[in-house]
Structure 1
């Protein structure tokens, strides 16, 4: 191209434009390649910085590489010894012990009706194939065939018909080539510095065609799962939240080993006690602790640990309990090189990643105001800072930056107010879905003889309940009762008048009729 620069004849100009177009295409392909390797799914627009993706791809490779692990005797294994250590470990935990429980199929009652079964067995349609494929993330890791969903999505106009015919033929004939369900088994570290094989969890990277078939079958079953799966399973179903498990666990005690043994007999699965531990109240004697831990076959933990990623027990020092949120954010900020992102990139990063990191915790617990201020201070420093060690001039206060963009701000979230809004979702679910398992447990514990609207903090409440009740006045101020027969609406205590400003009755309450209902008027 350098030799063609400055040449003005038509042939040279045409050749230069051709080469320039080819160069742009190659550079775009290179950037897409490094973006896929970097796995920065939050970055949908803004910066197009190849150096940014290079750094994160290198960081991910270094972080995910497993160089050595300890065996059961505490001896480090590397190279070929590492391979045999991992394979032997999984062969051991996935083999059967030959003890099969007395499982009686006849005792099960059918949960799927004949009409539902006929709907499940109807032939698959081409639209279901395309819907399943395009519902996948285009940059997801490929299987043994080396193709990610983005390849099939991009060239759907060319290969769509052949792809659809093959998938429908496999599903209608209930058979497919034996290599189709091959998968790459990848070990993902559950710790920053894994030492044992137990610190790793395996995932299977399947071929896209196989995943499309599985997703089509799953989509067929989705509408029936709510009636089939027990309500105690709170995750992976539409309308149910995994957060319910945390809310329920905060009010119930631990299961005993006898229940686990029954589960092992009927399911054929074994509980990994190497990953299990037990915590005790400070009033429990050392002798009792040792006896119980030995009986269960688990180790004693110094604290109550976490359940589904959140603290199991919250004590008085709440800032210490939730300090892990700030630590994670500090670590993430330490790995983000400010020089590789423009201000637009920083904005996307802060809004889509940094401010989303505490969301899971804030959906259950009320974080201390001082902790929210610390998190906002970290975000503010990252926004204005020049490097990881040098802070810059803060040209605008954080409060003004949290103002919506249409009013002159940047649209960042105020974390404490956002925390209250997320807890309001839990309060709204308790108010509008009183028959859910979570709502029934909280009702039995805190407001047995009334509704959530009239509930109070009560005696010896958990911190989850304290968090939910923090701003109950907010949801009360926006609630209105729709009058039906009027038998459950109190005249003076409930908001039932069609007045947007004050829905309560203003006249003095009659002393003789404190519980007068609207139906009695």
Structure 2
């Protein structure tokens, strides 16, 4: 009996655990399964509206479907085209807009017979046999796998798209280059590429990337490994500074399809490299014209500056030949100011405008502080990086940008200002020291500018370094 009692005692414990974890938990398990299914459906709906709103920065912030609804509606309202000027004629009817815009871009993608200049092969650098084999070899499994891994997440595009169909046929949608675009020339065509084409183009782009530095001259900096686009802006500003001292769908409905005979698709991985190669050919033609004495540029050094001063007729004629406009300084070059006083806040007005433009579409009343913090880190704090990589941000402008971020973080509204409980300098501290890890613009600006000092002794053969030494001397420049 004693042995039986012990066995029953052990069985009693097992029966209790079985009843607690299995039999008696059926209702709770059913409820948990239902909650999981509901949560999964809610996540799918949130992802759908996030894609429509294009607020992709909020992946780790708020889970707020109402916010995405507001964002999507705001974008739809902002992207609506009520009227447009096409070839000098103002149109406001949708059918007229579709027909005229389609006709405009159809003519843009057609090419008439023109006389092209003959570019001698001797003007270009050549590749050796090994590089040729790299470019012309068959696709390997490793290359295709790498191209797959580099492809970005497919996103739903909300505005102007060129959809390819049957080879070279496209449908036209409207995407403005500027927020307040009113002329058809302010819009650009975009083509979303099929996955197969994009994989092939990515493999070819990866191959071309490896040899670009061997065929492109030192004056070209963009899309070439080991060079930075900021180098070109630095050189241009230094030279200009010296001279100054010395001297489609329309509203969501696709247009008709039409054939295209030239051009590359928006987002094509090959397009930047082909553009650089084309510019290399153009640069070679200019160099040959300079060698034969047809044109003359200007040379800059510490002692003298020679500049070719042409008349107004010469400039107008050259602009007509090259299809460009005659501009004045200050202007912009590669998205940065050129020939403008760098310590002026007016140079930075475009950055402040981008801050306000983004905030105008964000419905901060639907965001928690965590969501606003995520947005500042992922978007607002990144807007001035390009400018701050080359110029010192004025103190007045820095305070204005920080004020915008502070007001957004604490949820200030136009009619009601909330209390800021913590100083901005404390918020910008690292999380280990009690802050939130936001960027302090002054310190971040200095860190970006000091990268030039770090690069100066390392890049002894770079073009920008030679320009700085030629202008200031090695000791003063470095």
TM-score (norm 1): 0.66
In the alignment, structure 1 residue 325 sits paired with structure 2 residue 351: yes
Question: In 2, are the aligned partners of 1:70 and 1:76 still within 8 Å (CA)?
Answer: yes
Q: Distance in 2 between matches of 1:321 and 1:381?
A: 23
The residue that corresponds to 1:136 in the other structure is 151
| Inter-CA distance 100–252: structure 2 relative to 1 (3 Å threshold) | farther
Question: In 2, are the aligned partners of 1:405 and 1:411 still within 8 Å (CA)?
Answer: yes
The residue that corresponds to 1:357 in the other structure is 383
Deviation of residue 12 (structure 1)?
Answer: 7.3
The residue that corresponds to 1:211 in the other structure is 198
Larger helix share, 1 or 2? 2
Name stretches of at least 5 consecutive residues in structure 2 with no aligned partner: 1-22, 244-278, 287-310
Deviation of residue 219 (structure 1)?
Answer: 1.4
Deviation of residue 215 (structure 1)?
Answer: 0.6
Q: 1:136-190 CA distances to partner (integer Å, 9 max, x unpaired)?
A: 22143479xx9xxxxxxxxxxxxxxxxxxxxxxxxxxxxxx98477765543211
The residue that corresponds to 1:56 in the other structure is 71
The residue that corresponds to 2:46 in the other structure is 31
TM-score (norm 2): 0.72
Selected match of 1:225 from 201, 209, 212: 212
The residue that corresponds to 1:366 in the other structure is 392
Question: In 1, are the aligned partners of 2:343 and 2:394 still within 8 Å (CA)?
Answer: no
| Inter-CA distance 391–294: structure 2 relative to 1 (3 Å threshold) | farther
In the alignment, structure 1 residue 455 sits paired with structure 2 residue 476: yes
The residue that corresponds to 1:308 in the other structure is 334
In the alignment, structure 1 residue 190 sits paired with structure 2 residue 216: no
Q: Distance in 1 between matches of 2:219 and 2:85?
A: 38
Matches within 5 A, 1:400-419: 400-419=426-445
Name stretches of at least 5 consecutive residues in structure 1 with no aligned partner: 1-7, 147-176, 255-259, 268-287, 457-471, 473-521
Q: 1:314-360 CA distances to partner (integer Å, 9 max, x unpaired)?
A: 23870122222222212322332222221111111111211111111
Question: In 1, are the aligned partners of 2:83 and 2:93 still within 8 Å (CA)?
Answer: yes
Q: 1:463-485 CA distances to partner (integer Å, 9 max, x unpaired)?
A: xxxxxxxxx8xxxxxxxxxxxxx
| Inter-CA distance 141–444: structure 2 relative to 1 (3 Å threshold) | farther
Deviation of residue 13 (structure 1)?
Answer: 6.8
| Inter-CA distance 389–433: structure 2 relative to 1 (3 Å threshold) | farther
Question: In 1, are the aligned partners of 2:331 and 2:340 still within 8 Å (CA)?
Answer: no
Q: Distance in 1 between matches of 2:417 and 2:165?
A: 58
| Inter-CA distance 54–198: structure 2 relative to 1 (3 Å threshold) | same
Q: Distance in 1 between matches of 2:327 and 2:50?
A: 41
The residue that corresponds to 1:200 in the other structure is 187
| Inter-CA distance 425–11: structure 2 relative to 1 (3 Å threshold) | closer
| Inter-CA distance 56–239: structure 2 relative to 1 (3 Å threshold) | farther
Question: In 2, are the aligned partners of 1:180 and 1:207 still within 8 Å (CA)?
Answer: no
The residue that corresponds to 1:426 in the other structure is 452
Question: In 2, are the aligned partners of 1:101 and 1:265 still within 8 Å (CA)?
Answer: no
Q: Secondary structure at the match of 1:355?
A: helix
Question: In 2, are the aligned partners of 1:47 and 1:344 still within 8 Å (CA)?
Answer: yes
Paired residues in the alignment total 388
Q: 1:369-414 CA distances to partner (integer Å, 9 max, x unpaired)?
A: 1111111111112112343542211111111111111011112222
- Cα RMSD between the aligned structures? 3.5
In the alignment, structure 1 residue 237 sits paired with structure 2 residue 224: yes
Q: Which moved more, 1:323-332 or 1:355-364?
A: 323-332
Matches within 5 A, 1:111-510: 111-141=126-156, 179=166, 185-252=172-239, 263=282, 292-293=315-316, 296-297=319-320, 304-315=330-341, 318-447=344-473, 451=474, 454-455=475-476
Question: In 2, are the aligned partners of 1:141 and 1:205 still within 8 Å (CA)?
Answer: no
Higher relative contact order (CA 8 A, sep 6+): 2
Question: In 1, are the aligned partners of 2:172 and 2:189 still within 8 Å (CA)?
Answer: yes
| Inter-CA distance 129–389: structure 2 relative to 1 (3 Å threshold) | farther
Q: Which moved more, 1:319-328 or 1:347-356?
A: 319-328
Q: Secondary structure at the match of 2:147?
A: helix
Question: In 2, are the aligned partners of 1:315 and 1:321 still within 8 Å (CA)?
Answer: yes
Deviation of residue 124 (structure 1)?
Answer: 2.2
In the alignment, structure 1 residue 86 sits paired with structure 2 residue 86: no
| Inter-CA distance 109–10: structure 2 relative to 1 (3 Å threshold) | closer
| Inter-CA distance 14–325: structure 2 relative to 1 (3 Å threshold) | closer
| Inter-CA distance 113–299: structure 2 relative to 1 (3 Å threshold) | closer
Question: In 2, are the aligned partners of 1:304 and 1:313 still within 8 Å (CA)?
Answer: yes
| Inter-CA distance 290–229: structure 2 relative to 1 (3 Å threshold) | closer
Q: Distance in 2 between matches of 1:310 and 1:391?
A: 34
Deviation of residue 109 (structure 1)?
Answer: 5.5
Q: 1:184-212 CA distances to partner (integer Å, 9 max, x unpaired)?
A: 55432111121111101112111122111
Question: In 1, are the aligned partners of 2:71 and 2:363 still within 8 Å (CA)?
Answer: no
Q: Distance in 2 between matches of 1:97 and 1:180?
A: 21
| Inter-CA distance 292–231: structure 2 relative to 1 (3 Å threshold) | closer
Question: In 1, are the aligned partners of 2:70 and 2:363 still within 8 Å (CA)?
Answer: no
Q: Distance in 1 between matches of 2:62 and 2:447?
A: 31
| Inter-CA distance 373–128: structure 2 relative to 1 (3 Å threshold) | same
Q: Distance in 1 between matches of 2:426 and 2:404?
A: 16
